[in-house]
């Protein structure tokens, strides 16, 4: 690859160096904050050999290059455009100026949950290993591996402990990420999150039983009775408390002299936020979380076919808009409240469907670059990363994207009718079965087959029809 030529062509296609407000890169993509996205020549951009696709999301214009190459292209691009090497956060801040309030709210959720996603996915994979060891009827009829081979019992127990840590101390992870996002001190965010799951508090998972027996412990605060309840696995309490903590900390830092900040800012901020968390924020947001859980479980219990069909069809368009990030907190809430989420397995169906539609395009396209992109992006989607398939292939040929939506909808409906749930979040692709309860592996595998076969068949049939009409090009 001629790096200088590639960088020069990309700069020209995005409107010239004067149109670039800021730029950085991630593992596979160049990320631009452009002054005017209307100046982008998308057709010219995607003719460049190194470019595998491009799209706009959350105020950023992203150009898919590929792992191992993107950093080289970026370095040359930065040199030619005369821009300083910038962090992802700087690009996000520059891009946020172009967002409306609703988009900013979605972006805020993404900024909070994306940094902790690797820990959650890792925990999900480890829980999947534990499921294989402890689930009955996988290798032995009516028994699990640890029952037949007791020597593996402690091995499975340690794996389960390691896997559960991210979920048990989830408020600590969210507290760190959220307080950082809201402009506070990350360390205070960790302390806040861990405070909400302190061992002296009633475990959140035992709250229902304790309430039924009338044995919820309380504090007596000058006549006010406050429940001593923890928020293990809860999302909303720590999100709101983190926002309050960051605002209080920032206010105090602006009012207190530097010489006294170490002694006053953190103690006051944590003390005030702590009392507010247990008196108001925790009880109110815990109730709201229960309402959200009841809303989704009510819909999927009452009309499971429609729920699975609609969510399966709409998940890919949600990814296009960035709104899919709003459902990760819902997944975590469902896992905590009901023991498993029925939404995340549908995400797997959508990812597989998009990858399958992209794979089918390989047999329809004549352009060698697009054929190669179809294969590589399909593999990426099968491993849980769908952006290359969606933006690089399927959205270019809308019928492929629609075929994938149909396949995901049918697969989502099937697994929902069969009550497939995931007690954890893992890799949203072929390895996703590891995060499904073993008793539901069979219907989940059938759903995967539907999500793969239907988009391939529809894309090929639809594509051949278009090819005959001369519309495929």
Angle between helices 101-113 and 170-181 (to 10 degrees): 130
Q: Are strands 53-57 and 60-64 parallel, antiparallel or unpaired?
A: antiparallel
Q: In this model, does residue 323 exceed pLDDT 80?
A: no
Q: Which residues pair with 34 in a beta bridge?
A: 20
Q: Look at 14-28, 63-77, 101-115 and tell me which has the smallest mean pLDDT.
A: 101-115
Q: If DSSP states are collapsed to H, E and C, what string results for 159-170? A: HHHHHHHHHHCH
Q: In this model, does residue 37 exceed pLDDT 90?
A: no
Separation CA 203–CA 231 (nearest Å): 7
Active-site residue numbers? 26
Separation CA 344–CA 305 (nearest Å): 16
Burial of residue 12, with CB atoms counted within 10 A of its CB: 0-12 exposed, 13-18 middle, 19 or more buried: middle
Contact 341, 421 (CB under 8 A): yes
Q: What DSSP line would sit under 36-57, residue for residue?
A: -GGG--HHHHTTSTT--EEEEE
The structural domains of the chain, with segments of one domain joined by +, span 3-98, 112-121+151-298, 340-469
| C-alpha of 205 from chain center | 24
Q: In this model, does residue 96 exceed pLDDT 70?
A: no
The larger pLDDT score, comparing residue 194 to residue 142, is at 194
Q: In this model, does residue 104 exceed pLDDT 90?
A: no
Q: Look at 108-122, 142-156, 206-220, 366-380 and tell me which has the smallest mean pLDDT.
A: 206-220
Q: Look at 96-110, 218-232, 286-300, 425-439 and tell me which has the smallest mean pLDDT.
A: 96-110
Q: In this model, does residue 289 exceed pLDDT 90?
A: no
Most confident by average pLDDT, 216-225, 230-239, 453-462: 453-462
Residue 84: its pLDDT value, please? 72
Residue 141: its pLDDT value, please? 81
Q: In this model, does residue 90 exceed pLDDT 70?
A: no
Contact 436, 422 (CB under 8 A): yes
Residue 281: its pLDDT value, please? 94
Helix (H) or strand (E) run with residue 21 in it: strand 20-25
Residue 327: its pLDDT value, please? 85
Residue 51: its pLDDT value, please? 85
Q: What DSSP line would sit under 277-335, residue for residue?
A: IIIIIHHHHHHHHHHHHHHHHHHHHHSHHHHHHHHHHHHHHHHHHTGGGGHHHHHHHHH
Residue 454: its pLDDT value, please? 97
What rounded mean pLDDT belongs to the chain? 87
Residue 168: its pLDDT value, please? 84
Res. 86 pLDDT band, cuts 50 70 90: low
Q: What DSSP line would sit under 92-134, residue for residue?
A: HHHHHTT--HHHHHHHHHHHHHTTTHHHHHHHHHHHHHHHHHH
Q: Which CATH architecture has domain 3-98?
A: 2-Layer Sandwich (3.30)
Separation CA 308–CA 213 (nearest Å): 36
Residues in the chain: 473
Residue 93: its pLDDT value, please? 64
């Amino acid at each position: 690859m001629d790096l200088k030529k590639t960088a020069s062509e990309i700069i020209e296609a995005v409107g010239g160096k004067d149109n670039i407000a800021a730029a950085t890169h991630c593992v596979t993509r160049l990320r631009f904050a452009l002054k005017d996205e209307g100046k982008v020549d998308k057709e010219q951009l995607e003719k460049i050999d190194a470019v595998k696709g491009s799209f706009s999301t959350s105020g950023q214009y992203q150009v898919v290059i590929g792992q191992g190459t993107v950093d080289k292209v970026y370095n040359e691009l930065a040199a030619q455009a005369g821009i300083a090497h910038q962090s992802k956060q700087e690009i996000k801040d520059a891009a946020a100026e172009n967002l409306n309030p609703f988009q900013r709210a979605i972006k805020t959720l993404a900024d909070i949950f994306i940094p902790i996603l690797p820990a959650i996915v890792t925990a999900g994979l480890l829980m999947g290993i534990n499921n294989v060891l402890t689930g009955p009827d996988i290798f032995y009829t009516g028994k699990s591996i640890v029952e037949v081979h007791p020597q593996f019992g402690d091995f499975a127990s340690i794996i389960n402990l390691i896997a559960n840590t991210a979920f048990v101390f989830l408020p600590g992870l969210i507290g760190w990420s959220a307080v950082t996002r809201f402009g506070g001190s990350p360390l205070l965010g960790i302390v806040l999150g861990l405070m909400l799951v302190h061992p002296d508090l009633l475990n959140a998972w035992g709250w229902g039983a304790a309430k039924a027996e009338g044995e919820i412990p309380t504090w007596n605060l000058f006549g006010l009775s406050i429940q001593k309840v923890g928020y293990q696995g809860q999302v909303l309490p720590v999100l709101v408390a983190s926002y309050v903590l960051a605002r209080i900390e920032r206010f105090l830092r602006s009012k207190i002299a530097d010489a006294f900040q170490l002694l006053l800012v953190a103690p006051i901020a944590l003390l005030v936020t702590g009392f507010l968390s247990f008196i108001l924020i925790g009880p109110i947001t815990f109730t709201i979380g229960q309402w959200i859980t009841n809303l989704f479980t009510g819909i999927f219990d009452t009309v499971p076919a429609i729920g699975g069909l609609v969510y399966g069809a709409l998940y890919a368009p949600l990814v296009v808009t960035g709104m899919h990030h709003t459902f990760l907190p819902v997944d975590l809430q469902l896992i905590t409240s009901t023991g498993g989420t029925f939404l995340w397995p549908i995400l797997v169906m959508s990812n597989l469907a998009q990858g399958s539609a992209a794979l089918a395009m390989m047999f329809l396209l004549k352009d060698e670059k697009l054929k190669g992109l179809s294969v590589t992006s399909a593999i990426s989607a099968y491993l849980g990363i769908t952006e290359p398939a969606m933006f690089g292939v399927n959205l270019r040929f809308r019928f492929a994207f629609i075929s994938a939506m149909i396949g995901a909808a049918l697969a989502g409906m099937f697994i929902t009718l069969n009550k497939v749930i995931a007690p954890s979040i893992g890799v949203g692709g072929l390895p996703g079965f590891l995060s499904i309860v073993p008793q539901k592996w069979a219907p989940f595998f059938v759903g995967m087959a539907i999500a793969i076969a239907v988009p391939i068949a529809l894309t090929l049939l639809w594509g051949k029809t278009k090819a005959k009409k001369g519309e495929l090009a």
